Structure 1
């Protein structure tokens, strides 16, 4: 993403077949998510058949749903496009739980990194035969290892709990993962349903009639309502003890919103959670970040040398522009089909609203631009971060300023070398800049 690996998981955008000709502040239906490639200056561009880097609400698949909440997931990235084959082993999911609800105990054959986008609650999981509970609030990052039984509780009386998450399956190479329910009945089925009666009778040392009453009664779905008394009792019980909270083998959530920003100026800020904050992320070679752009601001065009970013808009509106060498005038084209001198960089352009998800492959320069009417907050997951470097193509710290003056003059073939220096030194900000509309407005004010 364009912020500290600008890792850029969630839901609510519909596709549109109209070409992008209107500014963000247009009167277009707010539920529409139009996005096309190579948006031209002042002219209507040819509609592109597909944008493999941006996802619509109808791309999410419902994995579980009930009156109390739902779980949805994007499809396997490798099946969406060959251009996303490198992140096939990762999945993006989202969870929504209404007030006073519980997600049934289960485990998944995947490592799970969650980020709380709205609300509060707690997660409980079993580690070495100990029940560990962790309170969750907006901005928290937390991870659950694969194969560990856990459950989620929204203990708030009024607000919905919303979670965006990154999942890395461990059982298959195709990026597929499955839940294994240890509690439930008919909906959802439990893992016990796969075993024969005599085996279960021996395992539990009881008769099959009792087992059928226990494991065959629940029909209300994966997420269910609980009354206030049940919630209070769960909160009072073991798992939240001081000893458990301080045990080093049981990590606590890391809150991105409460930390000192890694970068901040008058245009916005960003905060990163990496191995130094959360060792769990180191094992996955993943970092998590949060960008907060003020209205009318933009991230300086930048690239990740090694990481691919998955960006999720958690709040606000804006747009992205990204340079891509793999998309020809009519869709994807292989580098084998053209020589280096024939490469053209297509502009991938998409409107952003709360819930938008987009992918930024390594090496692809990108900028995120906030609407002049609202802040733009982006959660990002950076994948393959070990050894990654972020390089800026504009701003005070851009890579061109690092090169020798002679190289710059030779490369741009500008007769007056001083003009190159004037252009490169004109921007006094770095990382987060004034966006196009805000810059034009400020210049108009200064000249009047």
Structure 2
């Protein structure tokens, strides 16, 4: 995928960026999250698109000449044409809550290249997220999130969109922080607020309401290089949605197996963002 960015001049209230996607026959554009609206035009070929709409997975088949709008969310593309390349032209309309000319995107699937955003979290964090107390890893599409610690101590872990760790820091009573992630022993209370009055629905990356569970299917399994059965076992293990139970209650051997299994899944696929 190649993106041509707008200059973002002051007279342009909402600059747009143009993208070009070329896919070989029977390939998958790895599940991707974009915080801005995407309008795609099928210049040549046929495709199947999957995206999250009203917390459910929706799929649509498109052919040459079709135009389709994807609101800021997680999505994937499959080249369904027999023996032909898929050529797509798309426009990216930046999220209104972000600074001029900026938009954010990251891969949900993938392993080494491209790196999944989940790779930035430590294996112990992921093992708790996928089945273990912590607040599920998430992203706010249209706002920055702040919090004030009211009682106890906790740990904040933040990752970059490229799947590397940005920060891991301990917080205590009276501290102000961005994006809560987990806690240590003892209760942890915080008060949080976001910077946007617009409708902002956190997109969870783990848990029963995660975008991964909504997107689960052969396409997501292919993105992680694992079977549908293994993917379902991993995603269905966590029954909670927002506040996830602690993995510390599990026996040491079980906890280690969870860490090893999740770590292997997050790094299982070594390929390009468009895969066979």
> TM-score of the superposition, structure 1-length normalised?
0.32
2: CA distance between counterparts of 1:86 and 1:127? 30
**1:114: Cα distance to partner?**
0.7
2: CA distance between counterparts of 1:77 and 1:163? 22
**1:198: Cα distance to partner?**
2.4
Query: Does residue 86 of structure 1 match 2:8?
Result: no
**1:196: Cα distance to partner?**
2.6
Picking from 13, 28, 53, the partner of 1:102 is 28
**1:213: Cα distance to partner?**
0.9
2: CA distance between counterparts of 1:117 and 1:106? 21
2: CA distance between counterparts of 1:192 and 1:220? 16
Picking from 149, 152, 161, the partner of 2:74 is 149
Please say if residues 33 and 106 of structure 2, whose CA atoms lie closer than 8 Å, have aligned partners that are also in contact. yes
2: CA distance between counterparts of 1:153 and 1:191? 21
Residue in structure 2 matched with residue 212 of structure 1 by the alignment: 263
Please say if residues 5 and 16 of structure 2, whose CA atoms lie closer than 8 Å, have aligned partners that are also in contact. no
2: CA distance between counterparts of 1:87 and 1:223? 33
Residue in structure 2 matched with residue 131 of structure 1 by the alignment: 57
Deviation per residue, 1:303-360 (Å, 9 max, x gap): xxxxxxxxxxxxxxxxxxxxxxxxxxxxxxxxxxxxxxxxxxxxxxxxxxxxxxxxxx
**1:119: Cα distance to partner?**
0.8
2: CA distance between counterparts of 1:184 and 1:72? 18
Cα–Cα, structure 1 residues 87 and 74, in superposed 2: closer, same or farther, change >3 Å?
farther
Query: Does residue 168 of structure 1 match 2:115?
Result: no
Please say if residues 77 and 91 of structure 1, whose CA atoms lie closer than 8 Å, have aligned partners that are also in contact. no
Residue in structure 2 matched with residue 196 of structure 1 by the alignment: 122
Deviation per residue, 1:37-61 (Å, 9 max, x gap): xxxxxxxxxxxxxxxxxxxxxxxxx
**1:179: Cα distance to partner?**
2.1
Residue in structure 2 matched with residue 177 of structure 1 by the alignment: 103
Query: Does residue 73 of structure 1 match 2:124?
Result: no
Picking from 90, 101, 120, the partner of 2:46 is 120
**1:194: Cα distance to partner?**
2.3
Please say if residues 123 and 263 of structure 2, whose CA atoms lie closer than 8 Å, have aligned partners that are also in contact. no
Secondary structure at the aligned position of 2:12 is classed as helix
Residue in structure 2 matched with residue 286 of structure 1 by the alignment: none
2: CA distance between counterparts of 1:145 and 1:155? 22
Question: Which structure 1 residue ranges, 4+ long, deviate > 3 Å from structure 2?
Answer: none
Please say if residues 105 and 151 of structure 1, whose CA atoms lie closer than 8 Å, have aligned partners that are also in contact. yes
Cα–Cα, structure 1 residues 87 and 219, in superposed 2: closer, same or farther, change >3 Å?
farther
2: CA distance between counterparts of 1:221 and 1:143? 25
Secondary structure at the aligned position of 2:100 is classed as coil
1: CA distance between counterparts of 2:2 and 2:13? 19
Residue in structure 2 matched with residue 331 of structure 1 by the alignment: none
- RMSD over aligned Cα, in angstroms? 1.8
Deviation per residue, 1:184-234 (Å, 9 max, x gap): 111111121222332211111262111111011211111011xxxxxxxxx
Cα–Cα, structure 1 residues 90 and 130, in superposed 2: closer, same or farther, change >3 Å?
same
**1:176: Cα distance to partner?**
2.2
Aligned residue runs from structure 1 range 406-445, under 5 A: none
2: CA distance between counterparts of 1:188 and 1:164? 21
Residue in structure 1 matched with residue 237 of structure 2 by the alignment: none
Residue in structure 2 matched with residue 159 of structure 1 by the alignment: 84
Aligned residue runs from structure 1 range 262-277, under 5 A: none
Picking from 66, 91, 96, the partner of 1:140 is 66
Any stretches of 5+ residues in structure 1 without a counterpart?
1-70, 226-448
2: CA distance between counterparts of 1:197 and 1:120? 38
Secondary structure at the aligned position of 1:86 is classed as coil
Cα–Cα, structure 1 residues 219 and 172, in superposed 2: closer, same or farther, change >3 Å?
same
Pair member with larger Rg = 1
Aligned residue runs from structure 1 range 393-408, under 5 A: none
Any stretches of 5+ residues in structure 2 without a counterpart?
132-254
2: CA distance between counterparts of 1:163 and 1:172? 26
